[in-house]
Each structure stands twice: as structure tokens, then as C-alpha cells.
Structure 1
Amino acid sequence: MPSAAAPLAGPLLEVACDESGSEGEKLVRGSTDTFAHASVEVAPAAAVATIERVRVQARSPATEVKAGVVLRPQNRRLLEWLLGDDGPLLGHAHVHLTDKALHLTERMLHLLPEPEPEGEPEVAGPDALARACTVHRAASERLGREGWLSVLSEFNDLVRAASPAQAAAGASSLACRLSGLDGLLPAGLLQVPVDPDGVLRLVARGRGTLDPIVPALADALRHWSAAGRPLWVVHDVQSALTDAAVERAVARSGSVTSAVLRGVSFVDSHDDPRVQLADFLAGAVRRIASQVLAGEADAGLVELVAPYVSERSTWLGPWLRDPGSRAGGAARRHGSEGESAAART
């Protein structure tokens, strides 16, 4: 956690966060193909009022706002209100979206081959993501999405191997699979270690670096820190966000976050209506994104969530954005504070 820092101008900025689609370090062949992390800056009273309105209009007995309820066709107008110009979230929320397969492609390119003795950063920068996009697109075109996912699954299972024998078998299988992609991947990527020591080093370096929640939280911290106000983050309980993981997210988000972040606390979503709104937003964006990957996108919903999706998301190409930019209009409508944050991110 960050140490005490000098006082900053302006009141404390408190944001609430939650995620959807988390399966830890299992990134392919799981229950979800996308991961979304949402953060909202909404007053508790406004969050309570929003939840009550949803319960009444959706005719739901639930005490929480769940994406599954609001995404039902009969509740389309309610969803449009929640995410639209007159709703409580536009200009007050941010979502980092992750295509898990693309994220795993970046991790594989980063972890193979073995680094030089001086070491390597845990999380790569934008250049590495651009390279991952190029490889992911080309490999998916050559093998088909399912074919490339099977290769990524081999790497995912290797890093998550439960025993040295399982890791050794996984490394041998992955090396064989990658050898058939000559000319498509960087030459160094084909050098999968198959000796026992090399395999164990790979597993040790990779374990704990695959979960997309760390780069997602880093993006959220960077976004909200741009306002230059003292920042406090309230997050739904998440076992992956250990003290060490939060410190890595802070380090990745940059010096501005280190200066303004006052702390991170964890709560049960049942106890904080703002976290419930973040949970709804993350769930809605994740489901819509999964439809996009499946080629079943609802153009209206894609455009509806566009102002919330971070441009630093781990996604193959930019999310659809209206040239008129509803997000920009929302920032102006919600005042200079929102405009300042949007301008600096």
C-alpha cells in the first residue's frame, strides 16, 4: 500500500470497483472469454436510489443490480437509461475490458523465451500489447480462433501445472505446437524450454502474472488519479488482490497514482451500493463484449457502452466509438471535474 503523502488540493475522490468474468489465471477454455473491471464515482445515496429504481422497473425482488436482469429484452429501456445520457453513470464510470485470449497471447510473448540475467518487468507496455495484437490476429487467421485458442490453452496449462511432471509434459507439447507456426511468430517464441530446470523457471516466472485484474486495476487507478485529487478505492472482496498485487497495480499505473492514492479497502458488495453499481456495469460490458467476440453483437448495445470502455483496454482494435463522443458531452454536462479527468487520461 502507498505510504502517507503530502496533502493535495480538493476533496477526497472515492471510487468503487468490481469485476466480472474472473477465473483467476485460467484464461482460455473456461466459462468466460472476456473480463471487465469497472470503477464508479457515485454518491452512496444516488447508488441506493438507482438500485431501488431498477428493482421497481425490472420487477425484481433482488437487492442488488445484476447485469443479467437489466440485459433482458423486456428491460432494454431501463438499461438504456442506466448507461445513457440521463443515467447516473455516464461521466462517472470507467471500464477496463480484457479479451482473455489476447491477454494470454501478450503474456506468452512476454514470458518466452527466458529473460536476460538482468530480469524483466512483470507487465509489458503498449509496444508489447501492439505486438500481441499482431500475433493474435495473424495466428487466429491462420489457425482459426479455436485453433489458436488450443495453442494458448497449452501455454496456460503449462504455467498453471500442478507438478513438475505435468509441467514437463506441457512444455514438450507446447514446443511441438509452436514449431508448426514457423514464420508467423517471433523466432524467440519458438524456444520453449524442455529441460527440467528451464521448465521450472518458466513456471515460477509465469505463476501469479496471468490474472488480468492487476493491469485492469492499474488502468482504473491511472484514470481516476488524473483528476489530481486524493484518491481512495473501495473494491469488492477479491482474493487475487493481495497487498503485493495492489502494489504492482500502483507501480504500473505511474507516479501520479503513487502520489494521490490514499488507500484501498475491501467490502462485500452487499454492503456498498456503489460497488453493486460497479458490478452491474462490469457484468453488462463483459456480456456485450462476449457477444462481439462471438459475432453476435447488438450494435445499439455496443455503442451504448462505448463511452465507458477504456482506450487502454486489452482488446483487438478500438472499441466502436460514436464520432460525436457521448463521453465528451457527459464530461461537460457533469462539470469541470469530469472534464479534467477525461482530458488527462
Structure 2
Amino acid sequence: MTEPNGSFEVACDESGSEGEKLVGGNTDVFAHAGIRLTTALAARCVEETRARAPSPTVEYKSDVIRRAKHRAALVWLLGPSGPLHGNAHVYLIDKTFLVVTRLAGLLPEADPHVVHRQGRRALGDARWTAFLAAFNDLLRAGPVGIRNGRGPRPSAEAVFHLVDGLPYLRRAMPGAAALRAQLRTDPGALPALDPLVPAILQAAAHWGRASRSRSSTTGRPCSPTTASPASAPRPGRRWPGCAWWTPAPTPGCRWPTCSPARHAR
């Protein structure tokens, strides 16, 4: 619900978080999702999802609706006739590539994709991954001493010794050492590798754009069949001026904001 001053609430949650451990963890991807629904519509969404994909579980999780037998319910939930279309946003981060991005940021005019590709080619997958894991460990927040029984945190010199044959990458060592020193001495410094930080920034940017778009577009309801190809938004975006939900239920559909036009599509 949007307040009179234009502010609104977005419910957010993450999945795959292991703090700043980005290489060699339990998950390869970090996900941060946001949903903008009123409390009443969120409750109806959960009720309808349970009706379409029933389960005795108290806490309804994604592994229930992702089962093959509930495929139709999943298509409804994520599709254009469902409640999340245009009202949800997911930001995905490849954890290993986030480490590569931070490494490339310490190099002059470096493209992370090129750095990643060349590093793997020069060192092989195993050695490149070992270097990224060490670089990851170097830049994790916290003291330089013992780390949960795993021994002392490596120095910048020890980490970049792993790429002695790649002088271009070693040029990142002074910047890495300076960043590590800052993390040690400045308790207010933001973590260098926590994916939650860029995820929150991306969520704020996305919903800020969405809010401005909603407040500045007017017009009659439209659909993909009536909008011109030039006006078609990217996947997951709505057409300008589109009536988001219309309270005209189709007979037999339990979703309270279903519209006949969506069933026709």
C-alpha cells in the first residue's frame, strides 16, 4: 500500500546467504527477492496457492510448489494471471563472480568477464578457484587472527603468490592489502564481499523506478494483445498505463483479482 507521501513497503527476503563466504560454500547463487503486496492480498495469495498446490506443511516453502504435480499452480503464481506479475523482483548474484568483480575493481580498466576467462585459462579451474577462495578469505570482514579454528587469515602477499605467473593480476595486490587494512581498522566499514549490500541497493533502485513509473503513467487498461511491439516492456515489466489488477473474477477462479482477459490470453 502506498502512503499519501508516496512511500510504500516492500517485503524482502534472501536465499543462499553464507555471509562473505562466496567460494567453496554450500550454494553458488545468492538471491534477494522483494514483493509489493498489501497484507490482505498477500494472505489471499497464500490461500490460493495452498488451494492450487495443497500441502499439510505449516510453513509453505518453494519446494512444495516446485513439485512436478504442482506445475500448473507454479505457472499461475509466476504467470501474467497470477498475483506476483509486476509486483515481484528477484536479484541474483553469482557468488564466485562477485569475488571476480571485486578483484577486477582493483585492476586498471579491467572487465570482470575477461579477468575470469583469462584466469581460468591460465591457471586451470582448480588453481583459479583456489586463488579466488584465498582472495575471498583475505577480504572477509573481521580480525586478522584465528578464524573459527581454521588458522590465521592469509596475507595479501600469500594470496597473490598463487598467481606469481600472472603479473597483471598481481597489480591488484596493493589495493587488496589496503582494503584489508581498512576492514581491520575501521569498524564502520561496509563488508567488501557481503552480497546483501549490493542486493539491497539494487532492490531500492528497482522499486524506486517502479514507484516513479506508476505515478507518472496514465491511460486505459491494455494487454500484450493491444500494446504495440515498440511499447512492450522487458520480461517482468508491465505495459505503461496497464490496470494492474481488475476485480472482475472469472467463474471458477478463486483468485479474487482475476480478470477474464487474462484467462483469454
Q: Residues 57 and 193 (structure 1 numbering): CA distance in 2 closer, same or farther, change over 3 Å?
A: closer
For 2:163 and 2:83, the matched residues in 1 are separated by 48
TM superposition shift of 1:84: 0.9
Residues 38 and 95, structure 1, Cα contact 8 Å, conserved in 2: yes
Indicate whether 1:175 and 2:155 are aligned: no
Give the distance between the partners of 1:103 and 1:181, measured in 2 at CA: 20
Aligned to 1:218: 201
Q: Match for residue 236 of structure 2? A: 327
Q: What CA distance in whole angstroms lies between the structure 1 residues aligned with 2:179 and 2:32?
A: 32
- Show the counterpart of 1:153: 133
Distance 1:37 1:218, change over 3 A: same
Structure 1 pair 201/177, CA: closer, same or farther in 2 (3 Å)?
same
2:118 aligned with 1:138? yes
More helix per residue: 1 or 2? Answer: 1
Q: How big is the alpha-carbon RMSD for the aligned residues of Structure 1 and Structure 2?
A: 3.5
Deviations 1:162-208 (A, max 9, x none): 5448556453431211213345x3x52255878xxx69616527872
User: How far apart are 1:40 and its partner, in Å?
Assistant: 1.1
| Alignment equivalent of 2:43, drawn from 24, 28, 48 | 48
Q: For residue 297 of structure 1, what is the aligned residue in structure 2?
A: none
1:228-265: per-residue Cα shift (whole Å, max 9, x none)? 49xxxxxxxxxxxxxxxxxxxxxxxxxxxxxxxxxxxx
**Alignment-mate amino acid for residue 188 of structure 1:** R
Q: Which entry has the higher C-alpha Rg, 1 or 2?
A: 2
Deviations 1:10-37 (A, max 9, x none): 6432211111111111111111111111
Show the counterpart of 2:16: 21
Question: Is 1:209 paired with 2:192?
Answer: yes
Q: Compared with structure 1, are the counterparts of its residues 74 and 162 closer, same or farther at alpha carbon in structure 2 (3 Å cutoff)?
A: farther
Q: How does 1:297-316 map onto structure 2 within 5 Å? A: none
Match of 2:113, as an amino acid? C
Tell me which residue corresponds to 2:259.
none
SS of the residue corresponding to residue 106 of structure 1 reads helix
Partner-residue secondary structure (3-state), 1:38: strand
CA distance change for structure 1 residues 145 and 89 in 2, over 3 Å: closer, same or farther? farther
**Relative contact order, higher structure (CA 8 A, sep 6+):** 1
CA distance in 1, matches of 2:154, 2:234: 50
Report the number of matched residues: 216
2:77 is aligned, of 82, 86, 97, to 82
Q: Which residue of 1 aligns with 2:227?
A: none
The whole-number CA distance in structure 2 between the counterparts of 1:142 and 1:219 is 33
Letter in 2 for 1:107: R
Which of the numbers 101, 107, 118 marks the counterpart of 2:102?
107
Measure, in 1, the Cα distance between the counterparts of 2:68 and 2:16.
22
Displacement of 1:89 in angstroms is 0.8
- In structure 2, what is the Cα distance between the partners aligned to 1:223 and 1:193? 31
Task: Give 1:69's aligned residue.
Answer: 64
Matches within 5 A, 1:264-283: none
Whole-angstrom distance in 1 between the partners of 2:81 and 2:160? 53
- Cα 1:145–1:95 change in 2 (3 A) is farther
Contact 1:15-1:39 at 8 Å conserved across structures = yes
**Aligned match of 1:32:** 27
Whichever residue aligns with residue 98 of structure 2, its letter is H
Hey, what's the Cα distance between the residues in 2 that align with 1:36 and 1:47?
20
Larger mean CA deviation between 134-143 and 42-51 belongs to 134-143
What is the CA deviation profile of residues 243-294 of structure 1, one whole-angstrom value per residue up to 9, with x for unaligned ones?
Answer: xxxxxxxxxxxxxxxxxxxxxxxxxxxxxxxxxxxxxxxxxxxxxxxxxxxx
- Structure 1 residues 173, 202: closer, same or farther in 2, change over 3 A? farther
Any unmatched runs of 5+ in structure 1?
1-7, 114-126, 230-322, 336-345
